[in-house]
Structure 1
C-alpha cells in the first residue's frame, strides 16, 4: 500500500500560519510515503514569499517526508515584466526545486510531475511536446502492476468550477496531452489551481480520454477561498490490487478533519466507485473496500 498526501495552492503571502502548522502536524502523525504539492507555492512570486515556502519545505524534509513538487502560475512573477518573460521560474528553481518535471517511484507507484505554468498564458496552463515525450518515456518503462500518477498544477481537462459548475478552459495542447495520457497508461491525474476538490473518471468528462481518474485538490493553506469551500487537501491510499481510497481532509473548527471519503476500483474500462470503510477508521488502519457499487458523480465538497 502507498499513502500519498496531495496538497495544492498553499500561496505563501496569502496563507494562514496556523493552518500551515496544522498541515505539518497532520503529516507528522500520518507519515505518508509521498507528499505532493501541485503548485502555487506563493501568492505573487516575491522573494520573501518563496523564502517562507522554502522554510516550510525544509521543515517537511527535516521531518523525513519525501516531496514531489511542481510550480503553478502564481509562482511566475506577475508585475515584474522583465523577470516574468526573461526568467519566469528563476526564483522557483532557487527556493523550491531546480527540477521542473520531477519523478518518484517505489514498489507501488510511479509519479511524474509536469510544469504547466507559462509566462504568456498568465493564469492558464500548457503542455509542450517535450513534456509529452517525457511522459511517454517515463511511464513506458514502469511495471504494469504499479499505479501511474501524473501531477500538474493546471488540470488537463475542462473542469467544473464555481457554484454553477461552469467549465474551465483546458490546458493548451489539450488533445495531444490527453492522447499522451492514454498512451502512457496514466491511472491518476492530480492537479489543483481552482481551489476546489473534485474527482471523476476521465471517460465521463472527455471522449477518448482513456481510463484515468481525475482528482483535484482544494487550497491547503490559502486565505483566498472560493465557493465557500474551506482549506483542504487529499489523502490517497493505493493498493496493488488496483484500488484507491480518496479522502478529503478539511479544515474545520480549528483543525484538519477527515470528511468526504470515496473508494475506487480499477476495471477493464477504467475506475468505478466502490464502498469504503468509515472515514476516521480508514485514516488509522488503511483501506477496506466492500465490493463495487454503481458509478455516480464524484464531486466532493
Structure 2
C-alpha cells in the first residue's frame, strides 16, 4: 500500500503560518511515502513568496519527505506582463522545481505531474499534445498491477464549483486529454485550483472517460476560502486491485483532523464509494466525497 498526502493551493503570500506549521507537524507525524503538491505555491508569483515556499519545501525535504510538485496559475506573474509572457515560470523553476513534468515510480505506484498553467489563459488551464504524448510514454511501460496517477493543477474535467450546481470550464483540449488518459490507463487524476474537495468516478462525469477516479484537494493553507469550506488536504491509501481510501484532513481552528473517510472500489466500469467516516463531513464538496 502507498500512503500519499495530496496538498494543493498553498498560496504563500496569502497563507496562515499557523496552519502551515500544523500541516508540517501532521506530515512529520504520519510520514507519507510521498507528498504531492498540485500547484499555486504563491499568491502572486513574487520573489519573497517563492522564497517562503521554497523554505517550507526544503524543511519537508530535510525531514526526509519525498515530494512531487507541479505549478499552478498563481505561480505565473499576473501584473508583471513582460515576465508573464517572456519567462512565465522562471521563478517557479528557480525556487521550486526545474522539472515541469516530474515522474515518480516505486513498487506500488507510477505518478506523472503535468504543468497546466499558461500565460494566456490567466486562471484557466491547458494541456498540449506533447504533454499528452508524455502521458502515454510514461505510463506505457508501467506494469499493469501498479496504480497510475496523473497530477495537474487544473482538473481535466468540468467541476462543480458552487452551491448551485454550476460547473467550471474543463481544461483546454479536454477531449484529447481524456483520450490520452484513457489510453494510458490512468487510475487516479489528482488536481486542485478550486479550493474545494471533490471525488467522483470520471465515467460518471464524462462519457467514455475511462476508468479514472477524479480527486480534488482543497486549499491546504491559504486564507482564501470558498463557500465556507475550511483548509484541508487529502490523505490517500492506494492499494492494488483497484482499491483507494480517501481521507479528507481538515483544519478545525486548532489542528488538522479527519473529516471524512471513504473507501473507493472499482467494479470494472466505475468507482463506487463506501463511507467509512464516523465524524461529520465538512464542506459542501466534501459531502460529494462521502455520498
TM-score, normalization by structure 2? 0.95
What is the CA-CA distance between 1:298 and the residue it aligns to?
Answer: 3.4
Residue matched to 1:88:
88
Residue matched to 1:21:
21
| CA displacement, residues 139-190 of structure 1 (integer Å, 9 cap, x when unaligned) | 0010100110000000000000012120000011000001111111000000
Report the 3-state secondary structure (helix = DSSP H, G, I; strand = E; otherwise coil) of the residue aligned with 2:189. strand
What is the CA-CA distance between 1:137 and the residue it aligns to?
Answer: 0.3
| CA displacement, residues 61-86 of structure 1 (integer Å, 9 cap, x when unaligned) | 00100000000000000000000000
Q: Give yes or no for the alignment of 1:7 onto 2:10.
A: no
Q: Give yes or no for the alignment of 1:298 onto 2:291.
A: no
Task: Note if contact 2:110-2:147 (Cα within 8 Å) is conserved in structure 1.
Answer: yes
Task: Note if contact 1:198-1:300 (Cα within 8 Å) is conserved in structure 2.
Answer: no
Residue matched to 2:284:
none
What is the Cα-based RMSD across aligned positions, in Å? 1.5
Residue matched to 1:54:
54
Q: Give yes or no for the alignment of 1:32 onto 2:29.
A: no
Following the alignment from structure 1 to structure 2, what is the Cα–Cα distance between the partners of residues 109 and 272? 21
Following the alignment from structure 1 to structure 2, what is the Cα–Cα distance between the partners of residues 131 and 299? 29
Following the alignment from structure 1 to structure 2, what is the Cα–Cα distance between the partners of residues 40 and 221? 11
Task: Note if contact 2:262-2:277 (Cα within 8 Å) is conserved in structure 1.
Answer: no
Residue matched to 2:283:
none
TM-score, normalization by structure 1? 0.92
What is the CA-CA distance between 1:240 and the residue it aligns to?
Answer: 1.8
Structure 1 stretch displaced more, 13-22 or 162-171: 162-171
Report the 3-state secondary structure (helix = DSSP H, G, I; strand = E; otherwise coil) of the residue aligned with 2:116. coil
| CA displacement, residues 205-249 of structure 1 (integer Å, 9 cap, x when unaligned) | 111100100000000000010000000000000112321100000
Task: Note if contact 1:195-1:218 (Cα within 8 Å) is conserved in structure 2.
Answer: yes
What is the CA-CA distance between 1:267 and the residue it aligns to?
Answer: 2.5
Following the alignment from structure 2 to structure 1, what is the Cα–Cα distance between the partners of residues 165 and 248? 19
What is the CA-CA distance between 1:271 and the residue it aligns to?
Answer: 1.6
Residue matched to 2:205:
205
Residue matched to 1:120:
120
Residue matched to 1:45:
45
Q: 1:208 to 1:184 in 2, by over 3 A?
A: same
Report the 3-state secondary structure (helix = DSSP H, G, I; strand = E; otherwise coil) of the residue aligned with 1:24. helix
Residue matched to 1:163:
163
Report the 3-state secondary structure (helix = DSSP H, G, I; strand = E; otherwise coil) of the residue aligned with 2:3. strand
Residue matched to 2:77:
77
Residue matched to 2:232:
232
Following the alignment from structure 2 to structure 1, what is the Cα–Cα distance between the partners of residues 89 and 290? 32
Task: Note if contact 1:139-1:148 (Cα within 8 Å) is conserved in structure 2.
Answer: yes
Report the 3-state secondary structure (helix = DSSP H, G, I; strand = E; otherwise coil) of the residue aligned with 1:37. strand
Following the alignment from structure 2 to structure 1, what is the Cα–Cα distance between the partners of residues 210 and 195? 25
Is there any run of 5+ residues in structure 1 with no aligned partner, and where? 280-296
Following the alignment from structure 1 to structure 2, what is the Cα–Cα distance between the partners of residues 30 and 163? 33
Is there any run of 5+ residues in structure 2 with no aligned partner, and where? 280-286
